Amino acid sequence: MRVTLAALALPALAFAASAHAADKPLTWDDAFSLRDAPKGVHVKASYTDGKGRSHDLEMWRDGDRRLRRRTDDKLELHAEKQSGGEYAFRLIDLAKKRLLEVNRTNLYRIGVFADWPALAGMITKPKPAHTLRPGARPKEKTPVGECRWVHLEIKGGGTQEICWSARFKLPLIIQTVAPAGTFTTVFQVKQVDVNVPGADVFKVSSAGLTVIHADEDIDPSSDL
């Protein structure tokens, strides 16, 4: 179960490099707020992990109620808001045919911080001290829409250049910058639409899967 839980953070998309921008600092919510996001979003993207391997990522988002993320046709993460506001998570390991069920509180207890803004916005707030500034480059016109560059400098972790779409509330491009000033794209949205996904998109079938109820192992109250 430990290996499977760690996969929740796999497409967290926090990258590093080196650059500089001198405009007024922004807060994380200023730069990457999900306020006024389209109710329905379907995204296809690719990203490069820390070992230089390329991955395909697909996401469906239904407001702040439901979300599904599929990585390389190997892993699926489902998140759904419960009546009390808590999110329930289900992680499907398609290769090993396992379904892991766990809530966010218990993920926090074991050090896996899979919060809604990071999953829905496809970008994770760095834990180390960091500075955000408007990017120096002009507005970018990508095949899927326009975005504006944001410069993220992480203490002890270099910098990122993130092109954020105010329309979709997503990064359309994330780049690292080499000391020589060359940019390397490590995340890119290839397709996006704003139709509300049908309910069938978020259905999870346990047929043929080994179901692991992780809350029973993690929640201290289960020992009472």
Q: DSSP per residue over 157-205, as a string?
A: TEEEEEEEETTTTEEEEEEEE-TTS-EEEEEEEEEEE-PPPPGGGG---
Q: Is the pLDDT of residue 110 over 50?
A: no
| Assigned token pair, 44 | 């296809």
User: If we measure between CA atoms, which residue out of 166, 209, 162, 202 comes closest to residue 186?
Assistant: 162
For residue 32, the surrounding DSSP H or E stretch is helix 28-32
Q: Is the pLDDT of residue 108 over 70?
A: no
Residue spans of the domains in the chain: they are 2-223
Distances (CA, A) of 108 to 29, 88, 104, 155: 21, 13, 6, 24
Q: Note the pTM of the prediction, 2 decimals.
A: 0.81
Flag the least confident range among 3-7, 129-133, 201-205: 3-7
Q: DSSP per residue over 57-87, as a string?
A: EEEEEETTTEEEEEETTTEEEEEEE-TTSPE
Flag the least confident range among 95-109, 131-145, 152-166, 190-204: 95-109
pLDDT digits (tens, 9 = 90+) for 134-169: 999 999 999 999 999 999 998 887 889 999 999 999
Q: Is the pLDDT of residue 216 over 90?
A: no
Q: What is the CATH number of domain 2-223?
A: 2.50.20.10
Do 166 and 35 form a contact (C-beta atoms < 8 A)? no
Percent of the chain whose pLDDT exceeds 90: 51
3-state secondary structure 99-132: EEEEEHHHHHHCCCCCCHHHHHHCCCCCCCCEEE
pLDDT digits (tens, 9 = 90+) for 2-44: 444 444 443 444 433 333 434 578 999 989 999 999 999 999 9
Residue 109 confidence (pLDDT): 52
User: If we measure between CA atoms, which residue out of 141, 125, 130, 120 comes closest to residue 60?
Assistant: 120
